[in-house]
Structure 1
Amino acid sequence: MATRKRVESWVVTDEFWRRVEPLIPVRERPADKEYLRKAGAGRPPKPARQVFEAIVFVLRTGCQWKALPKERFGSASAVHKRFLEWEAAGVFEAIWKAGLAEYDQMEGIAWRWQSIDGAMFKAPLAQEAVGRNPTGRGKGSKRHLLVDGRGVPLSRVATGANEHDVTQLDAALQAIVVKRKRPSQRRSKHLCADGGYRGRRALQIIESHGYIPHVVDRSKAVDAKRRDPTKRARRWGVEVCHSWFNRFRKLLVRYEKLERSFVALNHIAAAIIAFRKVSLKINIIYG
């Protein structure tokens, strides 16, 4: 009996690459700049797919950029340079938007019941969007997520670990990367949050964005679960989404110094989560 060849979890499939390739900018020489070498001379640039797969390898395995396998991806510095170029061009956020657009078309974004929460993680080398971790020693960062009813991320805000969740509530609600289509019939939308979003000001912000707030303390949620084991808090979506993000090892502990680099990696992870919610063969796993 023939055995199936094991495919690594960071390999970019053809279906996934067909979605990504149109969003990759083509490198062109500036017309107003003089060059000593003729066009086409020198070492040819790395194929875009090879570079993107190297970026996914770093995101999935958590290895350092300079530790990229040279025999497969070539120069690590060249890969990182292209990564920064694509980040500046907004490529990774565009991939996230494309994933959400296809997810909305195939499954439909579950707008009615959304949930929001923040999660802290260590950031020993970070220089931006970092603060003292209030629950332990050292520096840390925090990821604030707004997700739909199935746990797919709709917005993401990065801050220092010492920023309270409620201070980023308005920013997270404004940072939704896709616009909601006007529904055929008017339906209410709900926002579920834990006790960290209590207070008059937080409720005013939630209501100003058109949500019906559902702020429940964790202790009350535990009591309700004890009374009815089959009951699942509607806030589960954001909790499981944070878990999915942490399965990308480069995001579990932040070693990126610059905020822009760390945000770009989060955008790729969010895109993969969105694409995996549709019937698309993506080998990259997060669970």
Structure 2
Amino acid sequence: MVDRLAQRLIPDALWDIVKPLLPEFAARPQGGGTAPVDERAVFTAVVFVLTSGCAWRHLPPSFGVSVPTAHRRFMVWADAGVFEALHREILDRLGVAGELDWSAAILDAASVRAKKGSLTGRSPVDRGKKGSKLHVISDANGIPLVTGVTAANTHDSVMLQPMVESIPKVRSVRGPRRSKPAKLRADKGYDFDVHRRWLRGRGIVPRIARRGIEDPTKLGRHRWKIERTIAWLTGYRRLTIRYERHGRLFAAFLQLAAAITCYKKLPT
């Protein structure tokens, strides 16, 4: 049962991508310290926590990894940028396969509850309870390109420029790497002329709904794609309510969810 679950969570093809990105374990010459463990078992345990939403202390022993080891290794990988590197590696593979649509990018955000820690704030959509906000940019088809985390009381528009600047340079079917969409679509929360000027200055056509002018149903023809993407990401139950004290660890879980979501879009 555990082997079947592990194979479903981390197929061989995904592990082949992950393995080269993990920092090498260096044993101490004098002995002692942290013992080497099966890296695939640890990575599978991390993905299980992300997918199931269980607390670290409830990690089933059948994975063959102790709770302290799994949590400690997750933090090491987060600090080493493993999950961001994994996301970018899979985006490169999607780009080479011609699966990314750069005709437009779509930006949106969603709030989640948070118990404590950094990158939290009073949520304006949840009666002032503590929360965090997920920010996502996808390509025209809803494949996540960039993710970010802020406090829930951060205005969506504050993140437009940082998110666009964070779009990685992705490999293409032919020619140079690409990181600039032709258009940026966003809802009325991003309706500020300063952003339109900034986008035009970078050769990106702004398609931002105007407050009190444009019919929201017109944006809905494209908005459903980013809403579907956010639903994909929050389908990983660890992202539904934030328990991590440190915002960087919650952001690492979000990057891992984005990477796995992109992996599922790779052609077989």
TM-score normalized with structure 1 length: 0.82
CA distance in 2, matches of 1:211, 1:235: 18
Distance 1:117-1:42 versus aligned 2 partners, 3 A rule: closer
Contact 2:145-2:168 within 8 A present in 1 as well: yes
Separation in 2, partners of 1:156, 1:7 = 27
Partner in structure 1 of residue 91 of structure 2: 100
Counterpart of 1:142 in structure 2: which amino acid?
Answer: K
- 1:279 corresponds to: 267
Give the Å deviation of 1:30.
5.9
Structure 2 counterparts to residues 143-154 of structure 1, below 5 A: 143-154=134-145
Residue in structure 2 matched with residue 53 of structure 1 by the alignment: 44
Q: How many residues align?
A: 259
Q: Secondary structure at the match of 1:116?
A: strand
Structure 1 CA distance for aligned equivalents of residues 41 and 243 of structure 2? 23
Residues 25 and 36 of structure 2 are in contact (CA less than 8 Å); yes or no, is this contact kept in structure 1? no
User: Following the alignment from structure 1 to structure 2, what is the Cα–Cα distance between the partners of residues 238 and 170?
Assistant: 18
Aligned to 1:229: none
- In the alignment, is the contact (CA less than 8 A) between 2:107 and 2:137 conserved in 1? yes
* Mapping of residues 172-211 of structure 1, within 5 Å: 172-179=163-170, 189-211=182-204
Q: Return the offset for 1:130.
A: 1.0
- CA shift, 1:207, in A, is 1.8
2:176, 2:25 → 1: CA distance?
Answer: 41
Q: Tell me which residue corresponds to 1:112.
A: 103
Deviations 1:4-63 (A, max 9, x none): x975785211111111111111111467xxx3xx4xx68842200000000000000000
**1:204: how far off?**
1.6
SS in 1 for 2:24: coil
Q: CA RMSD in A?
A: 2.6
- For the residue of structure 1 that corresponds to 2:242, the secondary structure is coil
Unaligned runs of 5+ in 1: 226-231, 281-287
Bigger helix fraction: 2
2: CA distance, partners of 1:203 / 1:7 = 47
1:70 positional shift: 1.3
Alignment of 1:24-173 (within 5 A): 24-29=22-27, 35=30, 38=31, 44-125=35-116, 127-137=117-127, 138-173=129-164
Query: How high is the TM-score relative to the length of structure 2?
Result: 0.88
Partner of 1:261: 249
Change in 2 beyond 3 A, CA 1:250/1:56: same
Give runs of aligned pairs for residues 197-276 of structure 1, distance below 5 A: 197-216=190-209, 220-222=215-217, 224=218, 233-276=221-264
User: Which one-letter code corresponds to 2:9 in the other structure?
Assistant: V
In terms of mean alpha carbon deviation, does 206-215 or 47-56 score higher?
Answer: 206-215
d(CA) in 1 for partners of 2:196, 2:188: 12
The higher-RCO structure (CA 8 Å, 6+ apart) is 1
CA distance in 2, matches of 1:8, 1:86: 19
Whichever of the two has the greater Rg, that structure is 1
Post-superposition offset of 1:235: 2.4
Partner of 2:136: helix, strand, or coil?
Answer: strand
CA distance in 2, matches of 1:73, 1:164: 43
Q: Is this contact kept in 1: 2:92–2:171, CA < 8 A?
A: no
Q: Identity of aligned pairs, percent? A: 33
The amino acid of 2:10's aligned partner reads V
Cα deviation for residue 179 of structure 1 reads: 4.1
Query: Structure 1 residues 113 and 165, CA, compared in 2 at 3 Å: closer, same or farther?
Result: same
- Residue 174 of structure 1 deviates from its aligned partner by 0.8
Please tell me whether the aligned partners of residues 140 and 161 of structure 1 are also in contact (alpha carbons under 8 angstroms). yes
- Structure 2's unaligned 5+ residue stretches are none
- Matched AA of 2:13: E
What's the offset of the Cα at 1:113? 1.4
